[in-house]
Amino acid sequence: MRYRLALLSAVVLAAGCRDTQKPKTGTIAGGIDPAADQVVFGSRTLVTESGLRRAEVLSDTALFYEDNTRMDMRIVRTIFYSASGAKDAVLTSRTGRYYTRDNVMEARGNVEINTIDGRRLVTEQIKYDSRVNQISSDSAFVLTEAGREASGIGFVSDPDMNNLRILRASRAKARDVKVPGN
């Protein structure tokens, strides 16, 4: 009787242990480039120029290359600061690349910049050069602010978009403008 009960228990246990699914493995690790010098999850980098904080770059994942002079990032959030240290604008993108020798950052994929005063710029690619505190792009973009919208191909600006120069405008629209005295 004991033998039959033990055998029955072993059969039931073996049938219950049969797993048809493959074991779960680290899918994130499969996307990491083995040629990277270093990999950082949850990275934070300060971009400074002459001792002045220009930007803070946050990313989900950062891969370092070329003796840590090039940083490739995924899921990027960059906060731009004014000369007085106040927050100017926030950039988000799917990927980014930061060159530490030149203090130049490139953002790609669903790039969006939102300024503190409510302007919003959307494009696919942007370059930020902290040496001159300038953002630029040669891609199509749309800039939206209260009552106005402009789109074009290429621009040069400061990060808070107060001095925006559109290289090739394609369309702009604004609300009706009332002229005093008419």
Tell me whether residue 43 is in a domain.
yes
Q: Is residue 10 part of a domain?
A: no
Residue 27 has pLDDT above 50, yes or no: no
What length is written for the chain? 182
pLDDT tens by residue, 29-53: 457 888 888 999 999 999 888 888 9
Q: Is 18 within a domain?
A: no
C-alpha to C-alpha distance for 127 and 137, rounded to whole angstroms = 6
List CB contacts of 80: < 8 A, sequence separation 6 or more: 54, 55, 87, 88, 89, 90, 91, 128, 159, 160
Q: Would you say residue 153 lies in a domain? A: yes
Question: Would you call 166 helix, strand, or coil by DSSP?
Answer: strand
Domain presence at residue 140: yes
What's the pLDDT band for 69 if we cut at 50, 70, 90?
very high
User: Are 74 and 52 contacting, i.e. CB atoms less than 8 angstroms apart?
Assistant: no
CATH number, position 84:
2.60.450.10
144 vs 16: which has the higher pLDDT: 144
Expressed as residue numbers, the domain containing 157 is 35-174
Cβ-based neighbours of 63, under 8 Å, separated by 6 or more: 32, 33, 36, 38, 39, 71, 72, 73
Domain count, the chain: 1
Examine residue 141 and state whether it is found in any structural domain, yes or no. Answer: yes
174 has a pLDDT exceeding 90: no
- Which of 9 and 25 is assigned the larger pLDDT? 9
Tell me the average pLDDT of the chain.
83
161 falls in which pLDDT band (50, 70, 90)? confident
Domain for residue 81, yes or no?
A: yes
Tell me if 152 sits within 8 A of 165, measured CB to CB: no
Query: Strand order of the sheet with strand 148-157?
Result: 38-49, 52-65, 70-81, 87-99, 104-115, 120-129, 134-145, 148-157, 165-174
Range of lowest pLDDT (94-98, 110-114, 161-165): 161-165
Residue 179 lies in a domain: no
CB distance 105 to 135 below 8 Å: no
Confidence of residue 26 (pLDDT cuts 50, 70, 90): very low
Confirm if 143 and 167 have CB atoms less than 8 A apart: no
Which helix (H) or strand (E) segment holds residue 16: the answer is: helix 2-17
One-character DSSP codes across 67-95: TTTEEEEEEEEEEEE-TTS-EEEEEEEEE
